Amino acid sequence: EVNLVESGGGLVQPGGSLRLSCTASGFTIGDYWMSWVRQAPGKGLEWVANIKQDSSEKYYVDSVKGRFIISRDNAKNSLYLQMNSLRVDDTSVYYCVRIRYFGVPSQDVWGQGTTVTVS
């Protein structure tokens, strides 16, 4: 069964740092672009970042550029999100997501999410 499991969320003070991890099972992340998506309390979904299979390309939403770093370790079948200079408005559930290309890219496998609270 294809699965993604996030970890590393928690409570952190404004200005602090946190590192999220995501471990995949049932497939090889090295074959896929991967991404992070978040949802703040009572708000909609927000795409955060994408990373190519070999880490040669990374893309971020403007609000996290310069503060967040997406990375991966294909040997460990894992994805990461290093979050620095955290702000109250970064409070969200963060989802690790697989990107699939069937003509157009879509996000077909989602983890259950890990909660980050900045307060």
Partner 1 sequence: DIQMTQSPSSLSASVGDRVTIACRATQNIANYLNWYQKKPGEAPRLLIYAASRLQSGVPSRFSGSGSGTFFTLTISSLQPGDSATYYCQQTIGDLVWTFGQGTKVEIQ
Q: Which residues contribute to the site for partner 1 (CB under 8 A)?
A: 37, 39, 44-47, 50, 57, 59-62, 95, 100, 102-108, 110-113
For partner 1, the closer CB: 29 or 37: 37
- Residue 114 CA to residue 6 CA, distance in Å, equals 6
Minimum CB distance to partner 1, residue 96 (Å):
10
Minimum CB distance to partner 1, residue 95 (Å):
6
